């Protein structure tokens, strides 16, 4: 483990990584489970700490990037303008960013996979901004941009 730690401490970013490994190694695993932490060290070297032993990995560790979702809808007026939204993957909450180029109020309707209403965000004409909802992205089933009023359920 000394070799791994000395390689990790080569950069200031490595100090934080070494602390993660140290915490993973020191943390007791629950009965029947093993503790595991994976990270990238200096010069792109992949490391993993599994069950109390830090080892250098020959294969890259797969990490899913956070996605940004974008949608837009055409305006009634002015012709050719759009209502644009985007939101990123959030673990505990999701922030919606919006820019309404329309002359009318528009809405963002968020529903679960079971079609239950989570939130309806009303955006005034000519407005841009953001709205954070306390709902994780992975539980969002659909996001629509209706011209009609917010649904009651």
> CB of 85 within 8 A of CB of 71?
yes
87: which strand partners?
69, 96
pLDDT in tens, 7-44: 434 444 444 444 444 444 444 444 444 444 554 555 55
Strand ranges of the sheet holding 117-123, from the earlier edge strand across to the other edge? 117-123, 106-112, 140-144
Domain boundaries along the sequence of the chain: 2-56, 68-144
Q: Would the pLDDT of 68 be above 60?
A: yes
Please name the fold of domain 68-144.
Immunoglobulin-like (2.60.40)
Average pLDDT of the residues of the chain: 74
pLDDT in tens, 104-113: 999 999 999 9
Bond from prior residue into 89 cis (ω within 30 degrees of 0)? no
Q: What's residue 86's pLDDT?
A: 96
> CB of 100 within 8 A of CB of 118?
no
Q: Is the pTM of this model over 0.75?
A: no
Q: How would residue 66 be classed by pLDDT, with cut points 50, 70 and 90?
A: confident
């Amino acid at each position: 483990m000394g070799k791994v730690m000395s390689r990790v401490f080569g950069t200031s970013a490595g100090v934080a990584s070494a602390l993660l490994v140290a915490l993973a190694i020191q943390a007791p695993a629950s009965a029947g489970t093993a503790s595991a932490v994976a990270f990238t060290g200096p010069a792109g070297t992949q490391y993993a700490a599994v069950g109390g032993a830090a080892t250098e990995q020959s294969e890259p560790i797969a990490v899913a990037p956070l996605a940004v979702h974008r949608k837009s809808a055409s305006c009634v007026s002015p012709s050719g303008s759009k209502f644009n939204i985007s939101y990123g993957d959030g673990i505990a909450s999701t922030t919606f960013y919006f820019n309404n180029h329309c002359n009318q109020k528009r809405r963002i309707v968020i529903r679960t996979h079971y079609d239950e209403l989570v939130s309806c965000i009303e955006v005034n004409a000519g407005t841009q901004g953001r709205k954070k909802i306390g709902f994780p992205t992975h539980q969002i089933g659909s996001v629509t941009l209706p011209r009609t009023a917010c649904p009651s359920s």
